[in-house]
Amino acid sequence: MGRSPCCDKVGLKKGPWTPEEDQKLLAYIEENGHGSWRALPSKAGLQRCGKSCRLRWTNYLRPDIKRGKFSLQEEQTIIQLHALLGNRWSAIATHLPKRTDNEIKNYWNTHLKKRLAKMGIDPVTHKPKNDALVSSDGQSKSAAKLSHLAQWESARLEAEARLARESKLRSQSFQHHHSSSNSSQVYSAASALASTSAAPPGLVKKATAPLPPSSPQSLDTLKAWTGSSWPSTKSGEGSGGAGGSANGIAGDLESPTSTLTFSEPMNVLCENPKQMIEFVGSSGSSDSGMIKEEGEQEWKGLESSITLPEFKEGMGNNAVSFTSTFPEMTMSLEGPWTPESLRASSVHGNVENNDMEEGFTSLLLNSSGDQSLSDGGGESDKRSDYYEDNKNYWNSILNLVNSSPSESPMF
């Protein structure tokens, strides 16, 4: 496009910010807001480019930033979300209130990534590096499917996030135009998924027209997706890369972060859609999409039913009714989503939380070194331990995602 970088202008300062500069920027924004970043430096009397100012503000000066050591909870969240979302730091950051994407990225690169690598776990795939060794027994396939399910959750998560944003915007414009309206509408996450699939990315920024309350078509789409040949995805695509991925599922029906790879083509695996994931939904009042996994030997006894959140919008308050059912796990949450309530539901709820807490991630977090995969027991024990842990790991991730705050700074 032939645009010169904004910092190319001579006379603009680079490098570390001085306290004086911070003070100027802070004072200006507190008084005037940031408005246009490009125009800000001259108005604020700073010899910096707008981009530099924006970065300084968002990563350091913003008042709602928490600095300092990451808590165990935060570490766990990062690892789990990274397993789901890859290097999409801004998306991960939306689940860690008061942490910036830059900070999370740095923490991942300097701490967590190394810890995983040290344990022989590939920080990109979150699988042991010798995973190929066990591919013949079918267990890795199970893990991969589990992974894919989680990636589906990633898509849902994004749809959910978009929906929350839309919801907020709608409620704002609603308040604008109908200052006292108590109408409420119920939207299914599945219809959100479909709407985001149909709409160009970023449309939500200016979403003014209300979506239809339900979209049976969306469920057809989902069924079509699961039933027809799955678009194959390049392996490693989920690990980020410059740009592009940030917009996730919008625009088409491609699984945004899927790195699922089998030796068989996906359309073979999908011959019987029921063996994969079946989306059952109704266009009735509940309007919930349901993910069901059947016919999995390794999942014996595991009837997983994730009831996607129903977004009940009304009175400008994002009231959400939410249920999720895992084996030995039921959780429900009614009312506005707040970090506290989510945490409470995640930790206290009706969840048999021990399994979650003792999952793979906890192994990482509690690991004092290299013992987890190298100590004691034979190879097969280690493998079965891994898959047991891995199951918990992904369950834990799903749990986390299901309790993900839609009310994050980003929205």
Q: Given the rule CB under 7 A, which residues bind DNA?
A: 1-3, 5-7, 13-17, 35-39, 48, 50-52, 54-56, 58-60, 67, 87-91, 101-103, 105-107, 109-111, 114, 200-203, 205-206, 239-247, 250, 410
User: Which CB, 59 or 283, lies closer to DNA?
Assistant: 59
Distance CA 277, CA 293 (A): 5
Q: Please, which residues bridge with residue 329 across strands?
A: 326, 351
Q: Sign of the C-alpha dihedral, residues 407, 75, 73, 144?
A: positive
DSSP alpha helix (H) spans, 261-378: 266-269, 339-347, 353-357, 360-366, 371-374
Residue with tokens 């010899």: 47
Smallest distance, DNA to C-beta of residue 373, A: 20
User: Residue 59 or 275: which CB sits closer to DNA?
Assistant: 59
How many degrees, rounded to 5, is the angle at CA 91 between CA 342 and CA 402?
35
Helix (H) or strand (E) holding 117: helix 113-118
Whole-number minimum distance, CB 128 to DNA, in Å? 21
What minimum distance in Å lies between the beta carbon of 247 and DNA?
6
Q: Cβ 51 to DNA, closest distance in Å?
A: 6
Closest CB to DNA among residues 62, 223? 62
Cβ nearer to DNA, comparing 6 with 365:
6
* DSSP 8-state code for residue 310: E
Tell me the C-alpha distance between 226 and 221, whole Å: 9
Q: How far is the CB of 346 from DNA (least distance, A)?
A: 24
- Per-residue tokens: 229: 């040949």
Q: Which is nearer to DNA, 243 or 376 (CB)?
A: 243
H helix runs in 86-209, sequence order: 89-93, 101-107, 113-118, 139-177, 189-198
Q: How far are the Cα atoms of 90, 136, 313, 336 from residue 283, in angstroms, in the given order?
A: 33, 42, 18, 24
Strand partners, 320: 311
Q: 157 vs 250, which CB is nearer to DNA?
A: 250
DSSP E strand boundaries for 95-250? 121-122, 127-128, 185-188
CB of 268 to DNA, least distance (A): 31
| Residue whose CB is less far from DNA, 54 or 98 | 54
CB of 3 to DNA, least distance (A): 5
